[in-house]
Every structure is written in structure tokens, then in C-alpha cells.
Amino acid sequence: MALPPWTVELIRRGLTDVARKAGDGETLEKIKSQATEMLSDLLIKRGVDGDKIFRPQFDETFQIVAGTSATSVSRPEPRVETSQLQRDWHNDYAAFVLELSSKLNEIDSPTDRQALIGRLSDAPN
């Protein structure tokens, strides 16, 4: 079964929105925070004491002494302000390919997958 053109257009719009959000500095910080929390939760579920899980920032320095908890001794300023980050076509391309792969995996029929790829290839710029 071929996908109607309006479906292809909705997928393209969704991919554009995902690409735009992926470059937002605030979104990136939220993703990193959520990933850190998820990893901590997995470790705790596997029996690791939550008080012994450290969540260092990039370039953060710790003092580690046998028999004591690690102590943060410095938290440097961010190397680059997230407001200075700018997306380019490489970022958009990567987000597009990842989202397209996800959408293709949701389609059961190989014929329908091929039809979607054909429509996207034929779509005007």
C-alpha cells in the first residue's frame, strides 16, 4: 500500500521539527540531564548504592581518597555557551537520517518503505 502525498508531507514536517529541536542548547542540556538520571536509575536497580554514583560535569575535577567519598574540587565554566552553538546542514542531515530510519522501521511493508523513499527523493526542494 502506497502512502498518500499528505502523509509524506507530514513526515517531512515532523523531521524538520525534530532537527530544529535537536540543535536547541536548552534541549541538549535536558537530554544530557535525563540520560544521566536514567543511567543512575539503572545502576541503582542493579544494586549500586545511589550515594556512590557521581554525576560529574565535563572537566570537573574530583579528589579521591581511599575510604572516603569523592569530593568535587573544581567545576569549570562551560567551554562554549550553548547560545553560541549554531546548527549547520550536517546537524540537520544527521537528525533527518535518524528520524527517517525510525519512520521506515515503523512501516511493515518493504514496498511501502520503498514508496516513501521514492516520494521523498522526488519531493521538490
Contacts of 18 (CB under 8 A, 6+ apart): 95, 99
Cα torsion 102, 108, 114, 115 to 10°: value is -100
* Rounded average pLDDT over 109-113: 90
Q: What is the mean pLDDT of the chain?
A: 79
Contacts of 113 (CB under 8 A, 6+ apart): 104, 107
Query: Is residue 20 pLDDT above 70, yes or no?
Result: no
Q: Residue 23: pLDDT band by 50, 70, 90 thresholds?
A: low
Query: Is residue 11 pLDDT above 80, yes or no?
Result: no
Predicted TM-score of the model (pTM): 0.39
Strands (E) in 38-95, as ranges, are: 61-63, 71-74
Please give the Cα distance from 27 to 45 (Å, whole number).
Answer: 27
Higher pLDDT, 62 or 82: 62
Strand (E) or helix (H) holding 48: none
Please give the Cα distance from 11 to 14 (Å, whole number).
Answer: 5
* Cβ proximity of 44 and 50 under 8 Å: yes
Q: Residue 4: pLDDT band by 50, 70, 90 thresholds?
A: low
In this prediction, residue 67 carries a pLDDT of 85
